[in-house]
Structure 1
């Protein structure tokens, strides 16, 4: 089973990431434009369609929301405890916390989900919901944490940044069309489907181009600690919450896999934007993504037993 997961799910993902890395080395791709294509073009289409086609009940929606809130709060508590014990500076504490709670549920998590569940509508909608929650955390707490570490940022500025993102609107519209059973016109549905189908290849090419931007360094203890907590403690917390909430089947499997994503590129973007520990942030993204070849393979295999 592990060999099949590695060959059918994980290695295809990393082949595409590798191609993105090679293209970045050869052509110096415009990462700003690639990020905008992912955030404003492809991801909203995926989120809208996944919500529109979702088989998620109101009860399951509530359970997933509760799962994510508890998951982030517990990771924040772990980060605060570690930061206090190791006496991290204010800036490093903000970067360390972001490396734990801001994972790559979008341009890495969605492709993993689609390959692992072979495009199952319920699994995709669950991952899209997690990605939307992640965007909310990124552009509220994530922004505020680094702003406050450097210059005392406000909640208003963070919320304005979040409200400029199309993903939450795509999620609300998708759910509205689904709940009200509104038909999707062909001239809208087909373009959205074409855009959505490009998600896996474009998102992973972008990720490969982004992570190769940073040189690999192996000399910071805090990086290894962050990666260990992100890839090992994160899934352990996810498993505990799934058990406590009594989740079964595809929801349990999808949430367990979602809890094992590597650190998100957004943590590095925020660190660079506010010049707050950019080296630490870039190393956690790069090393956690590379080591995720091992951990996500094990996690997908383990998820088959929580059904």
Structure 2
């Protein structure tokens, strides 16, 4: 157990930690602004990665279908559990919304994809791409609803999905697989270069965002009940729910490991953006993001070692 933990820590988390530390230092000492880098990642690097991965992925239609089914069931169960926990603990409506955001949505893009690539190789990344696309769509529909509640427009949320380049990249990749069309070599090489740049850029952004969240967190007062419920739901309940659903759906092998790891990731950094815009307990969400991310550097190596 200890040997597996140390092997995973050195082989997977040490490479990940270097760009994360680099981003954190740049934010701390050079005031690195991540807005432009995030836009570059969202609108250029991420679509390139999704397109290249899906276009060349060694994944069956059965794996695609069961991944989508898992994602939908997982969201429903976590939504119900977070709502139940919020009511039982007597949290106000804003903190219930914040609890739902931290429970349901994980940092599967900036943190999860690089981690899966290092831990499981290209085969793992192929399988992770479907999960990530579904998560992106859910985040920009259900996520907006959970944050906004009373002043929410369902039509607006659905429309927001079609502003995401990664969705179109996924559609184009699927179309190419169906038709058998191949890109010219030069264009394919260019997309591969952009795709390869995604992981280090995403991790630099993650490091900078963690420092930003920590700086804002220093002046925040958050109820202990809200904070610990968010930590427990995200880092304990969510992985157990995922494990149960994976077993119920008879998902095994690499797909099982990849989905479980992605489901056990810390709270999504983008959740605080929604929380701030719609006043869904942004203080609670930002603190949970920081501490679930820090906790993940211990919990995820243990989980990968077990798998």
Within a 5 Å distance, the mapping from 1:175-254 to structure 2 comes to 175-215=174-214, 216=217, 220-221=223-224, 222-254=226-258
Q: Counterpart in 1 of 2:125?
A: 124
Question: In the TM superposition, what whole-angstrom CA distance separates every residue of 1:56-104 from its partner, at most 9, and x where no partner exists?
Answer: 1111111111111111111111101101111222211111101111110
Task: Tell me if structure 1 keeps the 8 A contact 2:94–2:279.
Answer: no
Q: Counterpart in 2 of 1:56?
A: 59
CA RMSD of aligned residues (A): 1.5
2:72 to 43, 52, 69: 69
Task: Tell me if structure 2 keeps the 8 A contact 1:47–1:125.
Answer: no
Task: Tell me if structure 2 keeps the 8 A contact 1:105–1:264.
Answer: yes
Offset of 1:214 from its aligned partner? 2.1
Offset of 1:219 from its aligned partner? 5.9
Distance 2:231 2:204 in 1: 23
User: SS at 2:110's partner residue?
Assistant: coil
Q: Counterpart in 1 of 2:157?
A: 158
TM-score (norm 1): 0.93
1:274 to 273, 278, 285: 278
Matching of residue 4 in structure 1 with residue 3 in structure 2: no
Unpaired runs of 5+ residues, structure 2, are none
Task: Tell me if structure 1 keeps the 8 A contact 2:106–2:262.
Answer: no
User: SS at 1:128's partner residue?
Assistant: helix
Which has the larger share of helix?
2
Distance 1:161 1:29 in 2: 28
Question: In the TM superposition, what whole-angstrom CA distance separates every residue of 1:2-57 from its partner, at most 9, and x where no partner exists?
Answer: 21101111222123212111101122122211110111011101101110111211
Q: Counterpart in 1 of 2:289?
A: 285
Distance 1:65 1:233 in 2: 20
Offset of 1:224 from its aligned partner? 2.2
Q: Counterpart in 2 of 1:256?
A: 260
Question: In the TM superposition, what whole-angstrom CA distance separates every residue of 1:226-245 from its partner, at most 9, and x where no partner exists?
Answer: 12211121111111111111
TM-score (norm 2): 0.93
Q: Which runs of 4+ in 1 moved over 6 A?
A: none
Q: Counterpart in 1 of 2:81?
A: 78
User: SS at 2:108's partner residue?
Assistant: coil
